[in-house]
Amino acid sequence: FASSGDVPALMRCIEARLPLEGAAARLAAERRTPEQLARITAAHDAFAAAAEAGGMTPGSDFAFHGSIAAATGNEFFPAFLHGLHTAVLGFMGVALGLTRTGSKERVAKVLQEHAQILDAIRIGDAEMAGAAMQFHITQARRRVMDRTHTP
C-alpha cells in the first residue's frame, strides 16, 4: 500500500474511503449500541485531548474511524478499513502533520468535523452522520492538497 510520500496512492485511498466511511457512519447512527457509542466517544475524546496537547497521531484518528466502522454491526466495514490500514495511516499522518504545523483554526476544524460525526451518530441521524463523515474526508483531502495551509 501507499507510503506517506506517495500522494497519488493516498488520494486513491481517499476515493475508496469516501463512500465506505460515509456508509459506515450512516449505519453506525442506526445500529450502534450504547457500548459502541461509548467507544466512539472515548476515541473522539482521546483524539481531542491529543490535539489540544499538540500531539494528534494517526493512531488516535484511526481509532475514531475504526470505532465507527465497528459500530455498523457489519464485519466487512472494519475489515475493509483495516485492510487499508497502511494507506489510511499514511494519509492520516500527512494530513495531521500538516494540521499540526498549520493554524489553530485548522486543528479546530478537524475537531469540529469529528464532533459533528459523533453528534449525528449519538442522536441516530443516519443521513447527517454520513454527510458529516464524507465532508470530513473531503476536507482532509483538501487540507492535504492545500499548499497555503489555511484552515
C-alpha cell at position 7: 500522494
Please tell me the predicted confidence (pLDDT) of residue 90.
63
Please tell me the predicted confidence (pLDDT) of residue 103.
66
Alpha carbon distance 34, 131 (integer Å): 22
Per-residue pLDDT of the chain (151 residues; tens, 9 = 90+): 444 456 787 788 888 889 999 999 999 999 999 999 999 999 999 999 998 888 777 788 889 999 999 999 999 999 998 887 766 666 666 666 555 555 678 888 989 999 999 999 999 999 999 999 999 999 988 887 775 545 5
